[in-house]
């Protein structure tokens, strides 16, 4: 399953709920304001640092760049472009958007 989070962990509890329910080996894609979760401070407090050890975590590069966050990622997060986003959706038979 591909989990997609588009809200900052400072804004909603969507990421927290997602991380609690996501199973080992599943994928998490952070888009829009969800990319704020990859910064060192928010990654630790939101649980993303620990989750990256059991989930495949991706962040959308254009959203990182739009927010001035390129190069400020915690370890274990892979950046992807829009083509990579399409590939992830096609690769997974199901996806869940966390609003």
Q: What is the reported pLDDT for 96?
A: 97
The CATH number for 75's domain is 3.40.1260.10
Q: pLDDT tens across 68-91, in order?
A: 998 888 888 999 999 999 999 999
Report the C-alpha gap between 43 and 2 in whole angstroms: 19
User: What pLDDT score was predicted for residue 92?
Assistant: 97
pLDDT score at 79: 96
**pLDDT mean over 34-40:** 93
Whole-number Å distance between alpha carbons of 25 and 11 = 26
- Say how many domains are in the chain: 1
97 Cα distance to chain centroid:
11
- Domain containing residue 11: 2-98
Q: Pairing between strand 77-80 and 27-30?
A: unpaired
């Amino acid at each position: 399953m591909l989990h997609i989070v588009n809200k900052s962990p400072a804004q909603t509890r969507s990421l927290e709920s997602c991380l609690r329910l996501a199973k080992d080996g599943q994928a998490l894609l952070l888009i829009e304001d969800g990319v704020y979760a990859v910064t060192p401070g928010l990654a630790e407090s939101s649980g993303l640092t620990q989750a990256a050890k059991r989930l495949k975590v991706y962040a959308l590069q254009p959203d990182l760049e739009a927010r001035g966050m390129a190069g400020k990622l915690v370890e274990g997060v892979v950046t992807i472009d829009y083509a990579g986003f399409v590939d992830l959706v096609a690769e997974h038979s199901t996806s869940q958007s966390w609003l």
